[in-house]
Amino acid sequence: MANQENDVILAKLYAPEKPNEKQYERFLNFLSDKYQSEVSLEWIEDKSIEGGFKLYVDEEVYDWTNEGRFLQLKESMGNLNVTSSTSQEDLIPLIKSAVDDFSATANAEEEGRVLTVGDGIVVADGLSSVQYGEIVIFESGVRGMVQDLRTEEIGIILFGDDTDVVTGSRVRRTKKTAGIPVGENFLGRVVDPLGNPIDGMGEIIADGYRPVESPAPGIVERQSVDTPMNTGILSIDSMFPIGRGQRELIIGDRQTGKTAIAIDTILNQKETGVLCIYVAIGQKASSVAQLVGTLKKKGAMGYTIVVAANASETAPIQYIAPYAGAALGEYFMHRGKDVLIVYDDLSKHAIAYRALSLLLERSPGREAYPGDVFYLHSRLLERSARMSDAVGGGSITALPIVETQAGDVSAYIPTNIISITDGQIFLESDLFFAGQRPAVNVGLSVSRVGGAAQTKAMKKAAGSIRLDLAQYREMEIFTQFSSDLDETTKKQLVYGQGLMRLLRQPQNSPFKTHEQVILLVAATAHVMQDVPVDDIHKFRAGLLNYFHEEESELCKRIDGDGVLSDSDKELIIAESEKFKKEYLSQEE
Protein backbone atom coordinates (compact mmCIF):
# COMPACT_ATOMS: atom_id res chain seq x y z
CA MET A 1 0.00 0.00 0.00
CA ALA A 2 2.95 2.35 0.49
CA ASN A 3 6.66 2.42 -0.17
CA GLN A 4 9.77 4.47 0.49
CA GLU A 5 11.62 6.53 -2.16
CA ASN A 6 14.72 8.64 -1.57
CA ASP A 7 14.19 8.53 2.22
CA VAL A 8 10.69 9.96 1.82
CA ILE A 9 7.94 7.81 3.36
CA LEU A 10 4.81 7.56 1.20
CA ALA A 11 1.68 7.09 3.32
CA LYS A 12 -1.95 6.72 2.24
CA LEU A 13 -4.93 7.94 4.24
CA TYR A 14 -8.29 6.28 3.55
CA ALA A 15 -11.17 8.39 4.88
CA PRO A 16 -14.68 9.45 3.75
CA GLU A 17 -13.70 13.14 3.80
CA LYS A 18 -10.52 15.03 3.02
CA PRO A 19 -8.67 16.18 6.19
CA ASN A 20 -8.43 19.94 6.79
CA GLU A 21 -5.06 21.70 7.00
CA LYS A 22 -4.82 21.32 10.79
CA GLN A 23 -5.62 17.60 10.64
CA TYR A 24 -3.22 17.15 7.72
CA GLU A 25 -0.43 18.78 9.73
CA ARG A 26 -1.12 16.54 12.74
CA PHE A 27 -0.87 13.44 10.54
CA LEU A 28 2.48 14.62 9.12
CA ASN A 29 3.86 15.43 12.59
CA PHE A 30 2.76 12.02 13.93
CA LEU A 31 4.38 10.14 11.03
CA SER A 32 7.59 12.20 11.11
CA ASP A 33 8.04 11.53 14.85
CA LYS A 34 7.17 7.87 14.44
CA TYR A 35 9.44 7.07 11.50
CA GLN A 36 12.08 9.83 11.89
CA SER A 37 11.89 10.70 8.20
CA GLU A 38 10.27 13.07 5.71
CA VAL A 39 6.68 12.05 4.93
CA SER A 40 4.43 12.39 1.90
CA LEU A 41 0.72 11.83 2.67
CA GLU A 42 -1.94 11.02 0.05
CA TRP A 43 -5.67 11.13 0.82
CA ILE A 44 -7.91 8.54 -0.87
CA GLU A 45 -11.67 8.87 -0.54
CA ASP A 46 -13.36 5.81 0.95
CA LYS A 47 -17.08 6.21 1.74
CA SER A 48 -17.25 2.68 3.22
CA ILE A 49 -15.36 3.87 6.30
CA GLU A 50 -17.59 5.23 9.04
CA GLY A 51 -16.45 7.26 12.02
CA GLY A 52 -12.70 7.40 11.45
CA PHE A 53 -9.90 6.58 9.03
CA LYS A 54 -7.26 4.04 8.05
CA LEU A 55 -3.67 5.12 7.62
CA TYR A 56 -1.34 2.81 5.65
CA VAL A 57 2.45 3.05 5.92
CA ASP A 58 4.28 0.20 4.20
CA GLU A 59 2.73 -2.98 5.66
CA GLU A 60 1.52 -1.21 8.79
CA VAL A 61 -2.00 0.09 9.20
CA TYR A 62 -3.45 2.43 11.82
CA ASP A 63 -7.12 1.44 12.08
CA TRP A 64 -9.07 4.32 13.65
CA THR A 65 -12.49 3.21 12.46
CA ASN A 66 -15.40 2.24 14.70
CA GLU A 67 -14.65 -1.40 13.87
CA GLY A 68 -10.96 -1.02 14.70
CA ARG A 69 -11.62 0.58 18.07
CA PHE A 70 -14.22 -2.08 18.84
CA LEU A 71 -11.62 -4.79 18.13
CA GLN A 72 -9.23 -3.09 20.57
CA LEU A 73 -11.98 -3.10 23.23
CA LYS A 74 -12.71 -6.77 22.48
CA GLU A 75 -9.03 -7.69 22.90
CA SER A 76 -8.82 -5.79 26.18
CA MET A 77 -11.88 -7.72 27.40
CA GLY A 78 -10.16 -10.95 26.39
CA ASN A 79 -7.30 -10.10 28.75
CA LEU A 80 -9.60 -9.91 31.80
CA ASN A 81 -8.58 -12.27 34.60
CA VAL A 82 -11.73 -14.40 34.51
CA THR A 83 -11.59 -18.00 35.79
CA SER A 84 -14.14 -20.70 36.53
CA SER A 85 -14.19 -19.49 40.16
CA THR A 86 -15.16 -15.90 39.20
CA SER A 87 -18.74 -15.25 40.32
CA GLN A 88 -21.29 -13.18 38.40
CA GLU A 89 -21.16 -10.53 41.14
CA ASP A 90 -17.39 -10.17 40.62
CA LEU A 91 -17.64 -10.27 36.83
CA ILE A 92 -19.94 -7.28 36.27
CA PRO A 93 -17.72 -4.73 38.16
CA LEU A 94 -14.69 -6.19 36.36
CA ILE A 95 -16.25 -5.53 32.94
CA LYS A 96 -17.45 -2.03 33.98
CA SER A 97 -13.98 -1.11 35.20
CA ALA A 98 -12.40 -2.38 31.96
CA VAL A 99 -14.80 -0.28 29.85
CA ASP A 100 -14.23 2.84 31.97
CA ASP A 101 -10.44 2.44 31.80
CA PHE A 102 -10.41 1.60 28.09
CA SER A 103 -8.66 4.08 25.85
CA ALA A 104 -8.28 3.36 22.16
CA THR A 105 -4.75 3.97 20.89
CA ALA A 106 -3.45 4.44 17.38
CA ASN A 107 -1.32 1.32 17.36
CA ALA A 108 0.18 0.20 14.09
CA GLU A 109 -0.89 -3.23 12.93
CA GLU A 110 0.73 -5.16 10.12
CA GLU A 111 -1.72 -6.03 7.41
CA GLY A 112 -1.37 -8.22 4.35
CA ARG A 113 -3.43 -9.26 1.36
CA VAL A 114 -4.59 -12.71 0.27
CA LEU A 115 -3.00 -13.80 -3.01
CA THR A 116 -4.47 -17.30 -3.40
CA VAL A 117 -6.78 -19.51 -1.34
CA GLY A 118 -7.85 -23.13 -1.67
CA ASP A 119 -7.90 -26.51 0.15
CA GLY A 120 -7.55 -24.77 3.53
CA ILE A 121 -4.29 -23.05 2.48
CA VAL A 122 -3.84 -19.30 2.00
CA VAL A 123 -0.86 -17.59 0.39
CA ALA A 124 -0.60 -13.90 1.36
CA ASP A 125 1.89 -11.10 0.83
CA GLY A 126 2.85 -8.44 3.35
CA LEU A 127 3.22 -9.24 7.06
CA SER A 128 7.01 -9.23 6.70
CA SER A 129 7.52 -9.37 10.50
CA VAL A 130 5.12 -12.25 11.15
CA GLN A 131 6.50 -15.28 13.02
CA TYR A 132 6.20 -19.00 12.31
CA GLY A 133 3.22 -20.44 14.21
CA GLU A 134 1.60 -17.03 14.77
CA ILE A 135 -2.17 -16.70 14.55
CA VAL A 136 -3.51 -14.28 11.93
CA ILE A 137 -7.09 -13.04 11.45
CA PHE A 138 -8.82 -12.46 8.11
CA GLU A 139 -11.39 -9.70 7.70
CA SER A 140 -14.16 -12.33 7.62
CA GLY A 141 -13.16 -13.34 11.17
CA VAL A 142 -11.63 -16.70 10.17
CA ARG A 143 -8.38 -17.49 11.95
CA GLY A 144 -5.30 -19.13 10.51
CA MET A 145 -1.78 -20.07 11.53
CA VAL A 146 1.41 -19.12 9.69
CA GLN A 147 3.09 -22.32 8.56
CA ASP A 148 5.41 -21.21 5.80
CA LEU A 149 7.76 -18.19 5.61
CA ARG A 150 9.13 -17.17 2.22
CA THR A 151 10.96 -14.09 0.92
CA GLU A 152 7.96 -12.32 -0.63
CA GLU A 153 4.96 -14.20 0.78
CA ILE A 154 3.73 -16.44 3.59
CA GLY A 155 1.73 -19.68 3.73
CA ILE A 156 -1.18 -19.87 6.17
CA ILE A 157 -3.29 -22.87 7.23
CA LEU A 158 -6.94 -22.07 7.99
CA PHE A 159 -8.90 -23.12 11.07
CA GLY A 160 -12.23 -22.38 9.41
CA ASP A 161 -14.12 -22.54 6.14
CA ASP A 162 -11.99 -21.24 3.26
CA THR A 163 -15.14 -20.05 1.43
CA ASP A 164 -15.15 -17.03 3.78
CA VAL A 165 -11.68 -15.98 2.60
CA VAL A 166 -11.30 -14.52 -0.91
CA THR A 167 -8.42 -13.25 -3.00
CA GLY A 168 -7.61 -9.65 -2.11
CA SER A 169 -9.13 -9.77 1.39
CA ARG A 170 -7.07 -8.34 4.24
CA VAL A 171 -5.27 -10.34 6.92
CA ARG A 172 -3.72 -8.95 10.09
CA ARG A 173 -1.34 -10.17 12.77
CA THR A 174 -2.34 -10.99 16.34
CA LYS A 175 1.24 -11.42 17.66
CA LYS A 176 -0.02 -14.53 19.50
CA THR A 177 0.79 -18.18 18.92
CA ALA A 178 -1.92 -20.81 18.54
CA GLY A 179 -3.36 -21.82 21.89
CA ILE A 180 -6.24 -23.57 23.59
CA PRO A 181 -8.28 -22.68 26.69
CA VAL A 182 -7.55 -25.05 29.60
CA GLY A 183 -9.02 -25.81 33.00
CA GLU A 184 -10.73 -28.27 35.33
CA ASN A 185 -14.09 -27.72 33.59
CA PHE A 186 -12.84 -29.53 30.49
CA LEU A 187 -12.98 -32.87 32.36
CA GLY A 188 -15.95 -34.90 31.18
CA ARG A 189 -16.28 -32.93 27.94
CA VAL A 190 -15.74 -33.49 24.22
CA VAL A 191 -14.00 -30.57 22.50
CA ASP A 192 -12.45 -29.77 19.13
CA PRO A 193 -8.72 -28.95 18.84
CA LEU A 194 -9.47 -25.24 19.32
CA GLY A 195 -11.13 -25.90 22.70
CA ASN A 196 -14.73 -25.43 21.51
CA PRO A 197 -17.24 -27.88 23.05
CA ILE A 198 -18.89 -30.20 20.52
CA ASP A 199 -20.92 -32.38 22.90
CA GLY A 200 -23.96 -30.08 23.16
CA MET A 201 -23.47 -29.55 26.91
CA GLY A 202 -22.93 -25.77 26.80
CA GLU A 203 -19.96 -23.47 27.06
CA ILE A 204 -16.85 -24.30 29.10
CA ILE A 205 -15.45 -21.64 31.44
CA ALA A 206 -11.67 -21.90 31.20
CA ASP A 207 -9.12 -21.35 33.96
CA GLY A 208 -6.43 -20.21 31.57
CA TYR A 209 -4.92 -20.37 28.10
CA ARG A 210 -1.93 -22.43 26.95
CA PRO A 211 -0.05 -22.42 23.63
CA VAL A 212 -0.51 -25.67 21.73
CA GLU A 213 3.22 -25.77 20.99
CA SER A 214 5.57 -25.49 23.96
CA PRO A 215 9.11 -26.72 24.71
CA ALA A 216 9.54 -30.15 26.29
CA PRO A 217 10.70 -30.22 29.94
CA GLY A 218 14.48 -30.22 30.39
CA ILE A 219 16.52 -33.03 31.93
CA VAL A 220 16.89 -31.20 35.27
CA GLU A 221 13.10 -30.86 35.60
CA ARG A 222 12.51 -34.60 35.11
CA GLN A 223 12.90 -37.64 37.31
CA SER A 224 13.19 -41.32 36.43
CA VAL A 225 10.11 -43.38 35.58
CA ASP A 226 9.45 -45.83 38.42
CA THR A 227 5.73 -45.52 39.29
CA PRO A 228 3.37 -48.01 37.57
CA MET A 229 0.68 -46.90 35.13
CA ASN A 230 -1.30 -50.13 35.23
CA THR A 231 -3.34 -50.94 32.13
CA GLY A 232 -5.39 -53.70 33.77
CA ILE A 233 -4.36 -55.97 30.86
CA LEU A 234 -2.61 -59.05 32.21
CA SER A 235 -0.27 -59.62 29.25
CA ILE A 236 0.98 -56.01 29.31
CA ASP A 237 1.29 -55.36 33.05
CA SER A 238 3.13 -58.64 33.61
CA MET A 239 5.63 -58.50 30.70
CA PHE A 240 5.70 -54.93 29.31
CA PRO A 241 4.95 -52.64 32.27
CA ILE A 242 4.22 -48.98 31.58
CA GLY A 243 5.33 -46.27 34.02
CA ARG A 244 4.02 -42.78 34.66
CA GLY A 245 5.89 -40.43 32.35
CA GLN A 246 6.64 -43.12 29.76
CA ARG A 247 5.84 -43.13 26.02
CA GLU A 248 4.67 -46.60 24.97
CA LEU A 249 3.71 -47.13 21.34
CA ILE A 250 0.71 -49.31 20.44
CA ILE A 251 1.32 -50.59 16.90
CA GLY A 252 -0.43 -53.03 14.62
CA ASP A 253 -2.58 -53.45 11.52
CA ARG A 254 -6.06 -52.05 11.13
CA GLN A 255 -8.73 -53.67 13.34
CA THR A 256 -6.38 -55.57 15.66
CA GLY A 257 -7.51 -54.00 18.95
CA LYS A 258 -5.17 -51.01 19.31
CA THR A 259 -7.85 -48.59 20.51
CA ALA A 260 -9.31 -51.28 22.78
CA ILE A 261 -6.01 -51.45 24.73
CA ALA A 262 -5.98 -47.67 25.13
CA ILE A 263 -9.61 -47.58 26.31
CA ASP A 264 -9.02 -50.41 28.80
CA THR A 265 -6.09 -48.41 30.18
CA ILE A 266 -8.33 -45.36 30.61
CA LEU A 267 -10.99 -47.46 32.35
CA ASN A 268 -8.35 -48.88 34.69
CA GLN A 269 -7.44 -45.39 35.95
CA LYS A 270 -10.75 -45.10 37.81
CA GLU A 271 -10.17 -44.09 41.45
CA THR A 272 -6.39 -43.79 40.90
CA GLY A 273 -6.32 -40.00 40.54
CA VAL A 274 -4.91 -40.23 36.99
CA LEU A 275 -6.64 -37.88 34.52
CA CYS A 276 -7.04 -39.08 30.93
CA ILE A 277 -7.09 -37.33 27.56
CA TYR A 278 -8.13 -39.17 24.41
CA VAL A 279 -7.19 -37.47 21.13
CA ALA A 280 -9.10 -38.80 18.10
CA ILE A 281 -7.40 -37.89 14.81
CA GLY A 282 -9.16 -38.53 11.50
CA GLN A 283 -11.77 -40.95 12.91
CA LYS A 284 -15.44 -41.22 12.02
CA ALA A 285 -17.70 -39.13 14.25
CA SER A 286 -19.80 -42.25 14.93
CA SER A 287 -16.72 -44.11 16.23
CA VAL A 288 -15.87 -41.24 18.59
CA ALA A 289 -19.50 -41.08 19.79
CA GLN A 290 -19.47 -44.83 20.48
CA LEU A 291 -16.22 -44.50 22.43
CA VAL A 292 -17.61 -41.61 24.52
CA GLY A 293 -20.70 -43.75 25.20
CA THR A 294 -18.48 -46.58 26.50
CA LEU A 295 -16.57 -44.21 28.78
CA LYS A 296 -19.82 -42.80 30.19
CA LYS A 297 -21.30 -46.26 30.71
CA LYS A 298 -18.20 -47.40 32.61
CA GLY A 299 -18.06 -44.21 34.72
CA ALA A 300 -14.77 -43.03 33.19
CA MET A 301 -15.89 -39.83 31.48
CA GLY A 302 -15.70 -37.85 34.72
CA TYR A 303 -11.89 -37.93 34.68
CA THR A 304 -11.47 -37.90 30.88
CA ILE A 305 -11.28 -35.23 28.16
CA VAL A 306 -11.93 -36.21 24.53
CA VAL A 307 -10.31 -34.02 21.85
CA ALA A 308 -11.89 -34.92 18.50
CA ALA A 309 -10.63 -33.94 15.04
CA ASN A 310 -12.93 -36.13 12.97
CA ALA A 311 -12.33 -37.39 9.44
CA SER A 312 -14.65 -34.66 8.12
CA GLU A 313 -12.42 -31.92 9.55
CA THR A 314 -9.80 -30.14 7.47
CA ALA A 315 -6.13 -31.16 7.50
CA PRO A 316 -5.09 -28.09 9.62
CA ILE A 317 -7.54 -29.08 12.39
CA GLN A 318 -6.29 -32.69 12.35
CA TYR A 319 -2.70 -31.44 12.37
CA ILE A 320 -3.13 -29.32 15.50
CA ALA A 321 -5.22 -31.89 17.47
CA PRO A 322 -2.46 -33.85 19.31
CA TYR A 323 -0.65 -30.63 20.28
CA ALA A 324 -3.91 -29.29 21.73
CA GLY A 325 -4.29 -32.51 23.75
CA ALA A 326 -0.72 -32.15 25.03
CA ALA A 327 -1.42 -28.52 26.08
CA LEU A 328 -4.47 -29.65 28.08
CA GLY A 329 -2.35 -32.36 29.71
CA GLU A 330 0.44 -29.91 30.59
CA TYR A 331 -2.06 -27.71 32.45
CA PHE A 332 -2.74 -30.58 34.86
CA MET A 333 0.86 -31.88 34.92
CA HIS A 334 2.21 -28.52 36.08
CA ARG A 335 -0.30 -28.68 38.94
CA GLY A 336 1.23 -31.92 40.20
CA LYS A 337 -1.29 -34.32 38.66
CA ASP A 338 -0.70 -37.48 36.64
CA VAL A 339 -2.11 -37.50 33.12
CA LEU A 340 -2.54 -40.26 30.52
CA ILE A 341 -2.79 -39.14 26.86
CA VAL A 342 -3.82 -41.42 24.00
CA TYR A 343 -3.01 -40.22 20.46
CA ASP A 344 -5.27 -42.22 18.14
CA ASP A 345 -3.61 -42.29 15.73
CA LEU A 346 -0.36 -40.66 14.61
CA SER A 347 -0.44 -42.35 11.18
CA LYS A 348 -3.42 -40.18 10.21
CA HIS A 349 -1.70 -37.20 11.84
CA ALA A 350 1.35 -37.68 9.59
CA ILE A 351 -0.93 -37.99 6.54
CA ALA A 352 -2.66 -34.70 7.44
CA TYR A 353 0.72 -33.00 7.80
CA ARG A 354 1.87 -34.44 4.48
CA ALA A 355 -1.24 -32.98 2.80
CA LEU A 356 -0.50 -29.55 4.32
CA SER A 357 3.13 -29.68 3.28
CA LEU A 358 2.38 -30.63 -0.30
CA LEU A 359 -0.25 -27.87 -0.59
CA LEU A 360 2.32 -25.42 0.79
CA GLU A 361 4.64 -26.62 -2.04
CA ARG A 362 7.31 -28.02 0.26
CA SER A 363 9.71 -30.53 -1.23
CA PRO A 364 8.44 -34.10 -0.78
CA GLY A 365 10.83 -36.75 0.49
CA ARG A 366 10.45 -40.45 1.28
CA GLU A 367 6.83 -41.60 0.66
CA ALA A 368 6.08 -37.91 -0.17
CA TYR A 369 6.43 -36.92 3.51
CA PRO A 370 8.31 -33.66 4.14
CA GLY A 371 11.80 -33.73 5.61
CA ASP A 372 10.68 -32.54 9.06
CA VAL A 373 8.09 -35.28 9.65
CA PHE A 374 10.32 -36.83 12.36
CA TYR A 375 10.33 -33.51 14.23
CA LEU A 376 6.54 -33.43 13.88
CA HIS A 377 6.19 -36.32 16.34
CA SER A 378 9.38 -35.99 18.37
CA ARG A 379 8.47 -32.52 19.63
CA LEU A 380 5.02 -33.86 20.56
CA LEU A 381 6.10 -37.02 22.41
CA GLU A 382 9.04 -35.35 24.18
CA ARG A 383 6.46 -33.31 26.13
CA SER A 384 5.59 -36.51 28.02
CA ALA A 385 7.63 -36.68 31.21
CA ARG A 386 7.58 -37.35 34.92
CA MET A 387 8.45 -34.05 36.57
CA SER A 388 10.74 -33.82 39.59
CA ASP A 389 9.25 -33.15 43.02
CA ALA A 390 10.82 -29.67 42.99
CA VAL A 391 8.47 -28.63 40.18
CA GLY A 392 5.34 -30.39 41.40
CA GLY A 393 5.94 -34.04 40.57
CA GLY A 394 3.21 -34.31 37.91
CA SER A 395 3.50 -36.50 34.83
CA ILE A 396 2.22 -37.10 31.31
CA THR A 397 2.18 -40.68 30.05
CA ALA A 398 1.69 -41.02 26.29
CA LEU A 399 0.17 -43.96 24.42
CA PRO A 400 0.62 -43.09 20.74
CA ILE A 401 -1.09 -45.44 18.29
CA VAL A 402 0.31 -46.22 14.83
CA GLU A 403 -1.32 -48.29 12.11
CA THR A 404 0.85 -50.60 10.00
CA GLN A 405 0.20 -52.06 6.56
CA ALA A 406 0.41 -55.87 6.47
CA GLY A 407 2.49 -55.89 9.68
CA ASP A 408 5.30 -53.82 8.18
CA VAL A 409 6.95 -52.18 11.19
CA SER A 410 9.87 -51.05 9.00
CA ALA A 411 7.79 -48.44 7.13
CA TYR A 412 8.74 -44.78 7.41
CA ILE A 413 6.32 -43.46 10.08
CA PRO A 414 6.39 -46.61 12.31
CA THR A 415 10.21 -46.63 12.43
CA ASN A 416 10.25 -42.90 13.21
CA ILE A 417 7.90 -43.26 16.16
CA ILE A 418 9.49 -46.50 17.43
CA SER A 419 12.79 -44.59 17.70
CA ILE A 420 11.11 -41.79 19.70
CA THR A 421 9.15 -43.92 22.17
CA ASP A 422 10.25 -46.01 25.19
CA GLY A 423 8.92 -49.29 23.87
CA GLN A 424 6.10 -50.74 21.80
CA ILE A 425 3.20 -53.13 22.17
CA PHE A 426 2.96 -54.96 18.85
CA LEU A 427 -0.45 -56.43 17.96
CA GLU A 428 -0.36 -59.24 15.42
CA SER A 429 -3.18 -59.93 12.96
CA ASP A 430 -2.65 -63.73 12.96
CA LEU A 431 -2.97 -63.86 16.76
CA PHE A 432 -6.07 -61.65 16.63
CA PHE A 433 -7.87 -63.82 14.08
CA ALA A 434 -6.84 -66.94 16.00
CA GLY A 435 -8.81 -65.61 18.98
CA GLN A 436 -5.83 -64.44 21.06
CA ARG A 437 -7.14 -61.05 22.22
CA PRO A 438 -5.44 -58.77 23.09
CA ALA A 439 -3.23 -59.99 20.25
CA VAL A 440 0.07 -58.99 21.87
CA ASN A 441 3.13 -60.44 20.17
CA VAL A 442 5.37 -61.31 23.11
CA GLY A 443 8.50 -61.51 20.96
CA LEU A 444 8.30 -58.11 19.24
CA SER A 445 6.82 -56.11 22.13
CA VAL A 446 9.07 -54.42 24.66
CA SER A 447 9.06 -51.82 27.43
CA ARG A 448 12.41 -50.09 27.83
CA VAL A 449 11.53 -49.00 31.37
CA GLY A 450 11.16 -52.62 32.42
CA GLY A 451 10.68 -53.77 35.99
CA ALA A 452 11.23 -50.26 37.36
CA ALA A 453 7.58 -49.57 36.50
CA GLN A 454 6.24 -52.64 38.34
CA THR A 455 5.25 -53.09 41.95
CA LYS A 456 7.31 -55.64 43.89
CA ALA A 457 4.26 -57.88 44.04
CA MET A 458 3.78 -57.87 40.26
CA LYS A 459 7.50 -58.35 39.58
CA LYS A 460 7.61 -61.35 41.91
CA ALA A 461 4.38 -62.83 40.56
CA ALA A 462 5.31 -62.45 36.87
CA GLY A 463 8.48 -64.44 37.46
CA SER A 464 9.49 -66.36 34.36
CA ILE A 465 6.24 -66.03 32.40
CA ARG A 466 7.87 -64.31 29.43
CA LEU A 467 10.59 -66.97 29.21
CA ASP A 468 7.98 -69.73 29.54
CA LEU A 469 5.97 -68.27 26.66
CA ALA A 470 9.10 -67.93 24.50
CA GLN A 471 9.94 -71.62 25.15
CA TYR A 472 6.35 -72.60 24.31
CA ARG A 473 6.46 -70.73 20.99
CA GLU A 474 9.72 -72.43 19.99
CA MET A 475 8.43 -75.85 21.06
CA GLU A 476 5.12 -75.33 19.23
CA ILE A 477 6.93 -74.62 15.96
CA PHE A 478 9.26 -77.61 16.45
CA THR A 479 6.48 -80.10 17.31
CA GLN A 480 4.54 -79.29 14.15
CA PHE A 481 6.88 -81.69 12.39
CA SER A 482 6.67 -84.48 15.00
CA SER A 483 3.82 -86.77 15.94
CA ASP A 484 5.48 -88.75 18.74
CA LEU A 485 6.05 -86.55 21.82
CA ASP A 486 7.37 -87.51 25.25
CA GLU A 487 5.41 -86.71 28.41
CA THR A 488 7.64 -83.80 29.45
CA THR A 489 7.14 -82.08 26.08
CA LYS A 490 3.39 -82.71 26.20
CA LYS A 491 3.18 -81.12 29.67
CA GLN A 492 5.21 -78.14 28.48
CA LEU A 493 2.84 -77.65 25.54
CA VAL A 494 -0.26 -77.92 27.72
CA TYR A 495 1.27 -75.43 30.20
CA GLY A 496 2.05 -72.98 27.37
CA GLN A 497 -1.43 -73.33 25.88
CA GLY A 498 -2.92 -72.65 29.31
CA LEU A 499 -0.79 -69.49 29.69
CA MET A 500 -1.84 -68.20 26.27
CA ARG A 501 -5.51 -68.85 27.09
CA LEU A 502 -5.10 -67.15 30.49
CA LEU A 503 -3.77 -64.02 28.76
CA ARG A 504 -6.95 -63.74 26.70
CA GLN A 505 -9.06 -60.99 28.20
CA PRO A 506 -12.52 -59.56 27.35
CA GLN A 507 -12.66 -55.96 26.16
CA ASN A 508 -13.50 -53.23 28.71
CA SER A 509 -12.75 -55.63 31.62
CA PRO A 510 -9.39 -54.58 33.12
CA PHE A 511 -8.04 -56.59 36.06
CA LYS A 512 -7.12 -55.01 39.39
CA THR A 513 -3.54 -55.44 40.63
CA HIS A 514 -4.35 -58.13 43.19
CA GLU A 515 -6.31 -60.12 40.58
CA GLN A 516 -3.33 -60.09 38.21
CA VAL A 517 -0.95 -61.15 40.99
CA ILE A 518 -3.19 -64.05 42.05
CA LEU A 519 -3.59 -65.32 38.47
CA LEU A 520 0.13 -65.06 37.70
CA VAL A 521 1.21 -66.84 40.90
CA ALA A 522 -1.29 -69.64 40.31
CA ALA A 523 -0.35 -70.00 36.62
CA THR A 524 3.44 -70.03 37.06
CA ALA A 525 3.06 -72.59 39.88
CA HIS A 526 1.37 -74.90 37.34
CA VAL A 527 -1.88 -74.90 39.36
CA MET A 528 -3.89 -74.73 36.11
CA GLN A 529 -1.96 -77.60 34.48
CA ASP A 530 -4.84 -80.06 35.00
CA VAL A 531 -7.59 -77.64 33.95
CA PRO A 532 -8.75 -78.19 30.35
CA VAL A 533 -7.63 -75.31 28.12
CA ASP A 534 -11.21 -74.49 27.07
CA ASP A 535 -12.20 -74.14 30.76
CA ILE A 536 -9.43 -71.69 31.71
CA HIS A 537 -11.71 -68.61 31.52
CA LYS A 538 -14.39 -70.24 33.67
CA PHE A 539 -11.74 -71.41 36.16
CA ARG A 540 -10.18 -67.94 36.24
CA ALA A 541 -13.49 -66.24 37.09
CA GLY A 542 -14.24 -68.76 39.81
CA LEU A 543 -10.74 -68.50 41.30
CA LEU A 544 -10.96 -64.71 41.58
CA ASN A 545 -14.42 -64.87 43.18
CA TYR A 546 -13.08 -67.43 45.65
CA PHE A 547 -10.22 -65.15 46.71
CA HIS A 548 -12.54 -62.11 46.99
CA GLU A 549 -14.76 -64.05 49.39
CA GLU A 550 -12.21 -66.11 51.32
CA GLU A 551 -9.03 -63.96 51.27
CA SER A 552 -10.27 -60.36 51.02
CA GLU A 553 -7.56 -59.16 53.44
CA LEU A 554 -4.85 -60.56 51.17
CA CYS A 555 -6.38 -58.75 48.17
CA LYS A 556 -6.46 -55.43 50.04
CA ARG A 557 -2.89 -55.90 51.24
CA ILE A 558 -1.52 -56.52 47.74
CA ASP A 559 -3.37 -53.48 46.34
CA GLY A 560 -2.33 -51.33 49.30
CA ASP A 561 1.43 -51.84 49.75
CA GLY A 562 2.26 -53.54 46.44
CA VAL A 563 4.32 -56.23 48.15
CA LEU A 564 4.02 -60.02 47.89
CA SER A 565 5.74 -61.88 50.72
CA ASP A 566 6.82 -65.51 50.47
CA SER A 567 4.06 -66.51 52.89
CA ASP A 568 1.49 -64.65 50.73
CA LYS A 569 2.73 -66.48 47.65
CA GLU A 570 2.50 -69.85 49.40
CA LEU A 571 -1.01 -68.94 50.59
CA ILE A 572 -2.13 -68.11 47.04
CA ILE A 573 -0.75 -71.42 45.71
CA ALA A 574 -2.34 -73.44 48.53
CA GLU A 575 -5.76 -71.76 48.20
CA SER A 576 -5.61 -72.09 44.39
CA GLU A 577 -4.93 -75.83 44.69
CA LYS A 578 -7.82 -76.10 47.16
CA PHE A 579 -10.16 -74.29 44.76
CA LYS A 580 -8.95 -76.44 41.83
CA LYS A 581 -9.89 -79.65 43.63
CA GLU A 582 -13.38 -78.31 44.31
CA TYR A 583 -13.70 -77.07 40.73
CA LEU A 584 -12.57 -80.35 39.11
CA SER A 585 -14.81 -82.43 41.42
CA GLN A 586 -17.83 -80.31 40.44
CA GLU A 587 -16.99 -80.63 36.74
CA GLU A 588 -16.90 -84.43 37.02
Q: Which residues are catalytic?
A: 448
User: Which is nearest to 173 in space by CA: 104, 110, 113, 117?
Assistant: 110
Q: Which amino acid is at 272?
A: T
143 and 161 in contact (C-beta within 8 Å)?
no
155 and 146 in contact (C-beta within 8 Å)?
yes
**Helix/strand/coil (H, E, C) string of 390-427?**
HHCCCEEEEEEEEECCCCCCCCHHHHHHHHHCCEEEEE
Phi-psi region of 435 (alpha: psi -120 to 50; beta: other; left: phi over 0): left
Q: What is the DSSP letter of 387?
A: B
Q: Which residues are paired to 62 by β-bridges? A: 55, 108
Longest dimension (CA), the chain: 112
Question: Alpha helices, DSSP H only, in 10-157?
Answer: 21-35, 66-78, 88-101
Cis peptide bond prior to 438, omega within 30° of 0: yes
281 and 456 in contact (C-beta within 8 Å)?
no
User: Which is nearest to 531 in space by CA: 518, 516, 541, 546?
Assistant: 541
At residue 476's C-alpha, the angle toward residues 475 and 480, to 5°, is 110
